[in-house]
Chain A
Amino acid sequence: MSATTPVPRQDKSAAFEYLTTRKDEFVGWARKFSLFPYPFVTACCAMEFMSVSSTLYDTDRFGAALPRFTPRQSDLLMVVGTVSHKQAPILRKVYEQMCEPKWVIAFGVCATSGGFYQNYAALPGIDKIIPVDLYIPGCPPRPEMVIDGIMKLQDKIACERHPIINKDF
Chain B
Amino acid sequence: MSLPPLTTLPNPIRPAFTKGLTPGSVIVNIGPSHPATHGTIQIVAEISGERVVRTDVHCGYLHRGFEKECESHTWHTLIPYVDRLNYCSALINDFAYCEAVEKLLGIELTPRCRHLRTLLAEYSRIADHLTCVAAALMEMGAMTAFLYLVTIRDYVYEHIADLTGARVTHSYGRIGGLARDLPDGWLQRLEEILEQMDTFVDRVHGLVDRNRIFIDRMRDIGVIATAEAINWGFTGPILRSTGAPRDLRKDTPYLSYGELEFEIPVGIKGDNYDRYYVRMREIDESKHMIRQLIDLLQPGPLCVDDRRCTLPDKQAVYTEIEALINHFKLIMEGPQVPAGEAYSAHEGANGELGFYLVSVGGGVPWKVHCRSPSFVHVGGVHRMLDGYQLADLVPTFGSINMIGGECDR
User: Does a CB–CB distance below 8 Å link A and B in the complex?
Assistant: yes
What residues make up the interface of A, taking CB atoms closer than 8 Å to B? 39-44, 46-48, 50-51, 54-56, 67, 69, 81-82, 84, 86-87, 89-96, 100-102, 116-117, 119-122, 130-131, 139-140, 142, 168
Task: Determine whether the beta carbon of A84 is less than 8 Å from that of B63.
Answer: yes
Give the dominant DSSP class at A's interface: loop
Query: Bound state CA distance, A135 and B358, in angstroms?
Result: 38
Query: Bound state CA distance, A95 and B9, in angstroms?
Result: 12
Known: A46-B39, A47-B157, A84-B63. 17 other contacts (CB 8 A): A42-B40, A43-B39, A43-B40, A43-B405, A44-B169, A47-B168, A67-B35, A84-B408, A86-B12, A87-B32, A90-B12, A96-B3, A119-B65, A119-B69, A130-B3, A131-B1, A140-B167
CB < 8 Å neighbour of B167 from A43, A48, A55:
A48
Task: Determine whether the beta carbon of B154 is less than 8 Å from that of A54.
Answer: yes
Task: Determine whether the beta carbon of B9 is less than 8 Å from that of A93.
Answer: yes
What residues make up the interface of B, taking CB atoms closer than 8 Å to A? 1-3, 5-6, 9-12, 32-35, 38-40, 60-65, 68-69, 80-81, 84, 87-88, 131, 134-135, 146-147, 150-151, 153-154, 157, 167-169, 404-405, 408
Task: Determine whether the beta carbon of B131 is less than 8 Å from that of A54.
Answer: no
Point out which of B10, B34, B84, B135 has the most chain A C-beta atoms below 10 A from its C-beta.
Answer: B84
Contacts of A90 in B (CB 8 A): 12, 32-33, 61
In the complex formed, the residue of A with least CB distance to B80 is: A116
CB < 8 Å neighbour of B11 from A40, A89, A92:
A89
Query: Bound state CA distance, A116 and B169, in angstroms?
Result: 13
Q: A81-B39, A142-B167 are in contact. Are A47 and B61 (CB under 8 A)?
A: no
Q: A54-B150, A54-B151, A168-B2 are in contact. Are A43 and B65 (CB under 8 A)?
A: no
Contacts of B135 in A (CB 8 A): 50
Contacts of B404 in A (CB 8 A): 42-43
Task: Determine whether the beta carbon of B33 is less than 8 Å from that of A94.
Answer: yes
Min Cβ gap B212→A in Å is: 26
Contacts of B9 in A (CB 8 A): 89, 92-93
In the complex formed, the residue of A with least CB distance to B31 is: A90
Task: Determine whether the beta carbon of B62 is less than 8 Å from that of A117.
Answer: no
Query: Bound state CA distance, A40 and B62, in angstroms?
Result: 12
Query: Bound state CA distance, A51 and B151, in angstroms?
Result: 8
Contacts of B63 in A (CB 8 A): 84, 86, 121
Query: Bound state CA distance, A139 and B165, in angstroms?
Result: 12
Task: Determine whether the beta carbon of B1 is less than 8 Å from that of A139.
Answer: no
CB < 8 Å neighbour of A48 from B35, B39, B146, B168:
B168
Task: Determine whether the beta carbon of A122 is less than 8 Å from that of B65.
Answer: yes
